Amino acid sequence: MSNLIQTGDNADITKERRNATFDIHDMSLFLYGSEEILKRRKEMLAFVKSKPEFNDPIPTEFMNREQRVDNGARKIVAMTDNTDEIDAGDFFGEGMYFQGLIMGRDLHPMSLHYVMFLPTIQGQSDDEQLDEWLPLTISRSFVGTYAQTELGHGTNLSKLETTATYDPKAGEFVLHSPSITAAKWWPGGLGKSANVAIVVANLYTQGECKGPHPFFVQLRDYDTHEPLKGITVGDIGPKLGFNTSDNGFLLFNNFRIPRRNMLMRYAKVLPDGTYIKPQHAKLAFGTMVFVRSIMIKDQSTQLAAAACIAKRYSAIRRQGEIKQGAGEVQILDYQTQQLRIFPVMARAFCFMFAAYEIRDLYMKVTEQLGEGNTELLPEIHALTSGLKSVVSYEVALGIEQCRMACGGHGYSQASAFPEIYAYAVAGCTYEGENIVMLLQVARFLMKAAEEVMNGKAKLADICAYLAKRGANKSRLRTADEYRGDVIIEDLEHVARNQVFRAYDSLKRKEKEMPSEEAWNKTAIELCKASRWHVRLYLAKNFLHKISTAKGAIREPLENLARLYAFDIITSSHGEFLRGGFMSEAQLDELKGGFYTLLERLRRNAVAIVDSWDFDDKELHSILGKRDGNVYSSLLDWAQQSQLNRTQVLPTFNKYLGPMMKEGRSKL
């Protein structure tokens, strides 16, 4: 608390911190896991602040794109020159935090080098390939990217048009882009920075297509950086966000690479062209599971940042009177403002705890894969696909709610909301478009439902609820008693019913039409089933996590977890009314409980977001400044605009001045 309350701070935000019912350090400790992690965060922050080469010459909001690309390249080299200051093997923890402090919310020329290229090399290269490529990757001897998505195809990998045809006489693969829509499109760093890539292409050997496989491909000359013959590559232009990143396009014209440039840990092509398939079709999913665990953590952090900004600003912004003559109140006192922001904060905690759980599951699955055990892989792949979809969507909605809760100032880039939103909303489409991800989960759920119906289900804990026989009525009596297992039972009831409702609908349609047409006509119900499956997992994990909390932090955490669950139920009340599972009186009780939770959380509103340990450098928001001195800081920020370097712009003499002079002459 001592670091958060300082002389000269805004009086309202200081009052909020003094009113907290718990020690913020204890909450931070629970959120991040250990004293050592909190200590390391402080050490890394102090180190970053001590290095002038990590600073921006002017606020990035005032840079043009060329300046941002240049600044990003400069800083990423400086950052990676100093990776000995962190545990480089802990990208989920220290790596992400270190990068965020230095690079902010924009991507950089080496984003995919570390997040996709390196994990793919580690996960899908055989031992000989690892010996060749991994040291070069780690030493930054080249800059890599991951080229999968094409102009005409993204998530539907089987229809990628880029081909890799094996020529046994030469012992080479021939990479080719047969059409414009086959152009690789979107890979970060591809446009101007990367000189190598993992390229995903449909493999052809001995006259047969064996599906999409990854290949190591050199794109540019290592010395001159000029594209190699047979390669067309460039930048795709400005985007909604990520404009420090040179996302690129790539086309091949019968470009040849050695046979051993196919990543061969699982699938292989022998010198004569014989194809050896992997032992398990989903072995290559391990890298994607890792990337999605990173995504979930990143998304939850952005949502927490948005809530932090909105709550701090709402604590210092006074507007309107609730009691006539009593003076303007903090807008955080309005119930409608609490409704906008408090559930967002609950989701941020929920999603962060899920990210940690998925990271642990990933480590477990990785260990099992090393032993040849693929039992958990389909389930964790389905779960992370669903989490990626649900979390990124709800994060995008939550950030926008927080922006609107800050009124007009939320529209300014000084607030950081445009930057946060542009950064986070991209997650709805990269690494798999959200609806497609939900439908992938649905295929897994339909298989599980089929097993239950046939009495052959061997379900892991994630899906065990599908085989349960739940009660026909909710056990909800009073909102205050509605906790833990009772909440989970009710969410399981709705999730289970939706899964089997979709299953029954699909089976009926399959009797009337081809299976893919039946799937399309059931797709909305299938997506609903996937969403409920993921919501159930999130709520169950959240409630379990907070049950381990001790001391004064337990109550606000329970209030957050119950607010999260109440929000799900009251916003989808029709599902709980079906078949009389809940009565209208029970739902009214729950709505009243929801409003009570808003009141209970009000006192700790700022302390809860303070526990995320956001430094001003990381938050990068004038509205969310620790000291609450927003208005003077907004004016200071605005004065840095390039337009304020001179009192009279050239536009006056060129256009506006003559217009006004002509207008006056006619009077």
Taken in order 19, 20, 23, 24, the sign of the CA dihedral is negative
Q: Which amino acid is at 562?
A: R
Enter the DSSP assignment of 165.
E
User: Dihedral (C-alpha) 181, 186, 189, 194: value to the nearest 10 degrees?
Assistant: -20
What is d(CA 494, CA 529) in angstroms, rounded to the nearest whole number? Answer: 9
**How far is CA 234 from each of CA 178, 184, 192, 255, 272, rounded to the nearest angstrom?**
18, 10, 6, 17, 35
CB atoms within 10 A of CB 207: 7
What is d(CA 388, CA 432) in angstroms, rounded to the nearest whole number? Answer: 9
Q: Is 431 helix (H, G, I), strand (E, B) or coil?
A: coil
Residues across the chain: 667
Any known ligand binding at 372?
no
Q: Is 431 a catalytic residue?
A: yes
**Is-contact 522 505, C-beta < 8 A?**
yes
Among the listed residues 102, 1, 95, the one whose alpha carbon sits nearest the alpha carbon of residue 40: 95
**How far is CA 317 from each of CA 130, 173, 308, 600, rounded to the nearest angstrom?**
56, 63, 14, 21
**Is-contact 441 530, C-beta < 8 A?**
yes
What is d(CA 257, CA 173) in angstroms, rounded to the nearest whole number? Answer: 5
The tokens 């990676």 sit on which residue? 80
What is d(CA 114, CA 143) in angstroms, rounded to the nearest whole number? Answer: 9
CB atoms within 10 A of CB 275: 16
CB atoms within 10 A of CB 375: 11
Instruction: Output the DSSP codes for 205-265.
Output: ETTEEEEEEEEEEE-B-TTT-PBPTTEEEEE----SS-TTS--EEEEESSEEEEGGGB--S
Is residue 223 classed exposed, middle or buried when 0-12, 13-18 and 19+ CB atoms within 10 A define those classes? exposed
Tokens of 31: 């959120």
What is d(CA 153, CA 161) in angstroms, rounded to the nearest whole number? Answer: 8
Is residue 237 classed exposed, middle or buried when 0-12, 13-18 and 19+ CB atoms within 10 A define those classes? exposed
Any known ligand binding at 188?
yes
Among the listed residues 58, 41, 155, the one whose alpha carbon sits nearest the alpha carbon of residue 100: 41
Scanning 374-483, the segments in alpha helix (DSSP H) are 377-405, 417-425, 434-453
Query: Which residue of the set 172, 379, 400, 431 is catalytic?
Result: 431
Helix axes 417-425, 377-405, angle to 10 degrees: 160
What is d(CA 73, CA 218) in angstroms, rounded to the nearest whole number? Answer: 20
Beta partners for 164? 175, 203
**Is-contact 487 601, C-beta < 8 A?**
no
Tokens of 238: 């400005």
435: Cβ–Cβ under 8 A, 6 or more apart, which residues?
A: 389, 527
What is d(CA 125, CA 261) in angstroms, rounded to the nearest whole number? Answer: 9
**Is-contact 305 624, C-beta < 8 A?**
yes
Known binding-site positions for FAD: 149, 188
Known binding-site positions: 149, 188
**Residues with catalytic roles:** 431
